[in-house]
Amino acid sequence: MGKLDKFKLPLKSLSLGTHVFEFQLDTPWFELMDGPDVQKGKLNAIVRVINTGNLYDLRFELSGGVQVPCDRCLDDMTIEVDQKSQLFVKFGPEFFEESEDMIVVPEREGELNVAWFLYELIVFSIPLKHVHAPGKCNKTMMIKLKKHMAGPKDEEEAEVDFTDEEDFEAADDNDPVSGSAWED
């Protein structure tokens, strides 16, 4: 049995009505998923499956927190996740995404693995820009980044006070070289 097999919802064998599945998503789970956006966290996921007879109405509820690098100092920061989503599933000959919230699953398989849905829902719930609260960034790292970003050509940029967020962002936007360094 694969490690993600427990995320397979046995749709075809579910009786009419509501069925509740609960999953714990922790750091070992994120390591299994091996996605690029989030690698650490601890969340509780509830998936309610309502079998209406001609389709399955899936209600996802996620709560907990994930650790992602702060945009400004790159230290981990915790982001609270409290996210809901809905997905409709029906059976057909082949797997097919009919629309954003309606998918077709092969009837012969009769099941759906929701591990990636849960992962994507977590990623979706993280704000595009995430930084520590003012004054909470890793100061040592900030000084290193400041040295790295201050190019020799622009003396004025080197004097930028990094406690001023606007100045910091302007320096970031104008420097594509340091921009790519964030990917490392």
Binding site for Zn ion (CB under 5 A): 70, 72-73, 132, 137
Shortest CB 42 distance to Zn ion, Å: 20
Closest residue by beta carbon to Zn ion: 70
Supply the DSSP symbol for 46: E
CA distances in angstroms from 72 to 149, 157, 180, listed in the order given: 12, 16, 14
Nearest residue (CB) to Zn ion, 154 versus 165: 165
Closer residue to Zn ion in complex, CB, 72/115: 72
**Which residues fall within 8 angstroms of residue 108, CB to CB, at 6 or more apart?**
none
Min CB(73)–Zn ion separation in Å? 3
Of residues 11 and 73, the one with the C-beta less far from Zn ion: 73
Minimal distance in Å, beta carbon 143 to Zn ion?
A: 13
* 43 CB burial (10 A radius; 0-12, 13-18, 19+): buried
Residue number, 46 or 131, with CB nearest to Zn ion: 131
Q: Are 47 and 103 contacting, i.e. CB atoms less than 8 angstroms apart?
A: no
Query: At its nearest, how many Å lie between Zn ion and the CB of residue 131?
Result: 6
- Taking the C-alpha atoms of residue 123 and residue 116, their distance in angstroms, rounded to an integer, is 10
